[in-house]
Structure 1
Amino acid sequence: MKAGKRARFEELYWRHHRELAAFIRRRVPPDAVEDVLAEVFVVAWRRLSDIPVEARAWLYGVARNVIRNTYRAEARQRALHVRIAEEAGSAPAHTDGFDDAIASRTDLGRAWNQLSETEQEVIALVAWDGLSNAESAQVLGVTTSAFAVRLFRARRRLLHLLERSTGGAR
């Protein structure tokens, strides 16, 4: 084993493992996070020479593929719905009234659940994972402009669903 290869791998691991674990944690059951994370780094080790200098989006793409290969879409969908339900139940940072805050979180959860899995993923990559449009496009294997269109449409649909559920009032 070359020292340079090992050093590059260790640098990748220490630089990205926490945010990658958070990315995975939002998509799989808690007991599967470490297994998926380990598999991602096995792939990274095997394909170290293929990893671009800016490795974050590449690693997210590998994680996404590992998740898709390991778990059926139904299981991933269930885990995401559980996460949304937990987020919807947490206390709001600032509201005019407690009842309004609960109603708005419930409306958001309902609207989120009406989005397709693809629409949820596009929004989650930007909103939860903090990826740029270019990084998100790389994760999904599409062009940046194609991702921007998908994100625009998903956000517009979520807004439409929210407005419909609140009767147009915000």
Structure 2
Amino acid sequence: MKADPDERFEALYEAHHQELLAFIRRRSTIGDAEDVVAETFVVTWRRIDDVPDPARGWLFAVARNILRNHERSHHRQVSLRVHLAGHSATYSPDPASAIAGRTDLARAWNRLTDAERETIALTAWDELTQEEAATVLGCTKAAYAVRLHRARRRLLHLIDRTTSGGRRG
């Protein structure tokens, strides 16, 4: 027997709203996490019959895609303002630099590619399983495992280089 769509949506909302909000807040530089999560649940409601079980990875993938759209839109707006005003865009620091007391980790984290940071963050910060993280990134579980291994290995290598004084200019 299939669950009532209203009940399924409410259960998904109750189970995943807070963790999706935290997921987006950690990644958003433009402060619209609540809007992104709301849009995620609009998509969920519209596609309730297409939402897989378990839905966690699917929800994170939808939220990530919506965040990307919001950030692209934000960047277009900033670029337009800069163009119209004739001023350069202001720099907003990377959240990784806020890691207190761990400058070696922050330096290494900042030297990772966006893809490497995202791969590690899905497991370390968002506590997604490899299967869920693979769903978010749109790849197989095996491909995600390889990406995670390589990203962790590179992060450890970069930490080792920064703590041993082997920095490059």
- In 1, Cα distance between equivalents of 2:67 and 2:55: 18
- In 2, Cα distance between equivalents of 1:67 and 1:23: 10
- In 2, Cα distance between equivalents of 1:127 and 1:159: 14
Residues 85-96 of structure 1 aligned to structure 2 (within 5 Å)? 85-86=97-98, 88-89=99-100
Gaps in structure 1 of 5+ consecutive residues = 90-101
Would the aligned equivalents of 1:27 and 1:79 in 2 still touch at CA under 8 Å?
no
Residues 17-166 of structure 1 aligned to structure 2 (within 5 Å)? 17-29=17-29, 31-72=31-72, 81-82=94-95, 84-86=96-98, 88-89=99-100, 102=101, 105-166=102-163
- In 2, Cα distance between equivalents of 1:158 and 1:4: 46
Letter in 2 for 1:25: R
- Identity over aligned pairs, percent: 55
CA RMSD of aligned residues (A): 2.3
When the two structures are superposed, what TM-score results if normalisation uses the length of structure 1?
0.81
The CA deviation string for residues 99-147 of structure 1, in whole angstroms up to 9 with x for no partner, is xxx3xx0000000000000000000000000011111001101001100
- 1:16 Cα deviation after fit: 0.7
When the two structures are superposed, what TM-score results if normalisation uses the length of structure 2?
0.81
- In 2, Cα distance between equivalents of 1:9 and 1:108: 40
* More helix per residue: 1
Letter in 1 for 2:39: E
